[in-house]
């Protein structure tokens, strides 16, 4: 299943206010269908004052900038008509300070006070989070609250079992509207503060206990609901959660893919597959690997590759020829650029989707100026649809291949090896087998022609009598 990560605000505007909306996505479902998308991961659509939507004011309502509940129902219905699933991002680790729960807590409501984590005599108010030295305790009126993700994001207190029931109601509400599953934001952060000792501490066992109960509840409502986790950490930590969620985002592998290409080093990709896709080598697959390059919190792919389109193409070749589910960040299919200053300022990686070469036209979102994707820079759907060799058409061809060879999702990796130029491996199931070569370097190389019934080249290459001459940043797929 090929997923598309979609930021509503930046995608398509149906009512000329410059902000993307749910009706706009419905209007562009045929674009996604033509691209080959089988699932949409919607970044948060719930009411929020933040541009990114990750600080929720009301878990039971749509952001008014994006439309109304009826618009969401229509989107679900129209997506399903096209055999496209819709997965909703639900950030339950924290709320907005504007959330009614938090406001009632501040006013002294006993029920809601216990929904949050407050400072006491043991608290070190100067404690900082471990990844960037930002403060984690913030004063609001006369109280200090714990907010690992910033001063507008008070963390919820999952020591309180009553809150567990509230979150179940949130999941039920959206499932009843027809959503096909959830992407669980910050899944390792449910229990990340030691209340007894008042100190930051990951408690992975307790996180797992919480998610087991939530997943069981969700699956009782919809047994086919797809649960996708975000655990941004080392392979060792990710493995603690293996088998709990249907799909696990493979953050470590995203860096292995990009570093392989940036440094032209095939050994890095071999190491990455061995370390992060090992369950597809042993055949002991409990959770599907969600493979991707980048997302809303990361620098865009083309920026990482200094705007080298051939490097982006070989990255997509790799993504679409490995088991698991590929995820494409909106706009990466046309090579959109975007840098991240830090984790608190991510707007520049979420610029408006570029539909038109001029930068303007019906449906074009304009909530943000395009610093990295200016008009007349060949970064548009309009321009790239005309060019058979564009990145967009390259990605379409790869997704079409992926859908024709759907068995790859559950295949076993074998014969993984590399030389100075290429990485090669075999993907197989009981009834299918292909061999894949990726030329990681910009120079040409030769691949021995073996006795296969078909040869598919993504990039440039020439098939000769005894060998295949493969251009730089190109791949060949040999089918038994």
pLDDT at 183 (0 to 100): 95
Task: List pLDDT tens digits, range 244-271.
Answer: 999 999 999 999 999 999 999 999 999 9
Q: DSSP secondary structure string, 35-66? A: HT--EEEEPP-EE-SSTT--S-SEEEEE-TTT
pLDDT at 466 (0 to 100): 87
pLDDT at 353 (0 to 100): 98
Task: List pLDDT tens digits, range 276-297.
Answer: 999 999 999 999 999 999 999 8
| pLDDT confidence band for 165 (50 / 70 / 90) | very high
Residues in the chain: 480
Residue 346 has pLDDT above 90, yes or no: no
Task: List pLDDT tens digits, range 55-111.
Answer: 999 999 999 999 999 999 999 999 999 999 999 999 999 999 999 999 999 999 999
- Mean predicted lDDT score pLDDT of the chain: 95
pLDDT at 51 (0 to 100): 84
Task: List pLDDT tens digits, range 424-471.
Answer: 999 999 999 999 999 999 999 999 888 888 899 999 999 988 899 999
Q: Whole-angstrom Cα distance, residue 73 to residue 51? A: 23
Task: List pLDDT tens digits, range 382-392.
Answer: 999 999 999 99
pLDDT at 231 (0 to 100): 83
| pLDDT confidence band for 380 (50 / 70 / 90) | very high
Task: List pLDDT tens digits, range 38-70.
Answer: 999 999 999 999 889 899 999 999 999 999 999
Of 299, 282, 279, nearest in space to 290 by CA:
279
Average pLDDT estimate for 382-411? 97
Task: Give the per-residue SS3 of 342-373.
Answer: ECCECHHHCCCCCCCCCCCCCCCCCCCCCCCC
Strand pairing of 325-329 and 3-6?
parallel
pLDDT at 425 (0 to 100): 98
Residue 476 has pLDDT above 80, yes or no: yes
| pLDDT confidence band for 341 (50 / 70 / 90) | confident
Of 63, 92, 80, nearest in space to 178 by CA:
80
Q: Whole-angstrom Cα distance, residue 6 to residue 25? A: 9
Phi and psi at residue 199, in whole multiples of 5°? -150, 145
Active site residue ranges:
185, 230
Cβ 41 vs Cβ 6: under 8 Å: yes
Average pLDDT estimate for 290-310? 95
- What Rg do the C-alpha atoms of the chain give, in angstroms? 23
Element (H, E) at 144: strand 143-146
Average pLDDT estimate for 347-356? 95
Domains, the chain, with CATH or none: 3-93+161-406 (3.20.20.80), 100-146 (no CATH), 411-479 (2.60.40.1180)
């Amino acid at each position: 299943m090929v997923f598309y990560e979609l930021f509503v605000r930046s995608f398509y505007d149906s009512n000329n206010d410059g902000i993307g909306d749910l009706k706009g996505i419905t209007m562009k479902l045929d674009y996604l269908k033509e691209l080959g998308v089988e699932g949409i991961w919607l970044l948060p659509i719930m009411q929020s004052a933040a541009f990114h939507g990750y600080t929720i004011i009301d878990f039971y309502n749509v952001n008014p900038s994006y439309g109304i509940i009826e618009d969401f129902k229509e989107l679900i219905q129209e997506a399903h008509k096209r055999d496209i699933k819709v997965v909703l991002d639900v950030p339950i680790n924290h709320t907005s300070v504007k959330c009614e729960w938090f406001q009632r807590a501040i006013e002294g409501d006993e029920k809601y006070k216990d929904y949050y984590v407050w400072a006491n005599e043991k608290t070190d108010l100067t404690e900082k989070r471990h990844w960037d030295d930002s403060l984690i305790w913030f004063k609001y009126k006369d109280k200090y609250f714990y907010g690992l993700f910033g001063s507008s994001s008070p963390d919820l207190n999952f020591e309180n079992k009553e809150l567990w029931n509230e979150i179940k109601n949130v999941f039920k509400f959206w499932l009843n509207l027809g959503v096909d599953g959830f992407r669980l934001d910050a899944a390792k952060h449910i229990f990340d503060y030691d209340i007894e000792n008042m100190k930051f501490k990951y408690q992975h066992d307790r996180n797992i206990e919480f998610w087991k109960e939530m997943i069981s509840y969700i699956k009782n409502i919809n047994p086919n609901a797809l649960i996708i986790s975000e655990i941004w950490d080392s392979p060792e930590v990710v493995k603690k959660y293996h088998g709990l969620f249907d799909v696990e985002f493979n953050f470590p592998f995203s860096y292995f893919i990009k570093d392989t290409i940036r440094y032209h080093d095939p050994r890095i990709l071999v190491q990455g597959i061995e370390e992060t896709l090992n369950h597809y080598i042993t055949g002991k697959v409990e959770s599907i690997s969600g493979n991707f390059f980048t997302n809303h919190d990361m620098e865009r792919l083309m920026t990482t590759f200094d705007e080298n389109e051939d490097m982006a193409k070989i990255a997509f070749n790799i993504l679409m020829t490995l088991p698991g589910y590929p995820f494409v960040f909106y706009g990466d299919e046309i090579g959109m650029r975007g840098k991240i200053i830090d984790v608190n300022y991510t707007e520049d990686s979420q610029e408006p989707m570029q539909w038109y070469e001029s930068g303007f036209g019906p449906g074009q979102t304009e909530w943000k100026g395009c610093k990295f994707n200016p008009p007349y820079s060949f970064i548009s759907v309009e321009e790239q649809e005309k060019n058979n060799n564009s990145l967009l058409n390259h990605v379409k061809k790869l997704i079409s291949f992926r859908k024709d060879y759907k068995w790859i999702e559950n295949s076993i990796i074998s014969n993984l090896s590399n030389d100075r130029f290429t990485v090669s491996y075999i993907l197989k199931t009981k009834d299918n087998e292909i061999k894949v070569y990726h030329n990681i370097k910009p120079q040409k190389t030769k691949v021995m022609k073996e006795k296969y019934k078909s040869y598919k080249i993504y990039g440039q290459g020439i098939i000769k009598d005894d060998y295949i001459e493969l251009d730089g940043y190109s791949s060949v797929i040999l089918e038994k």
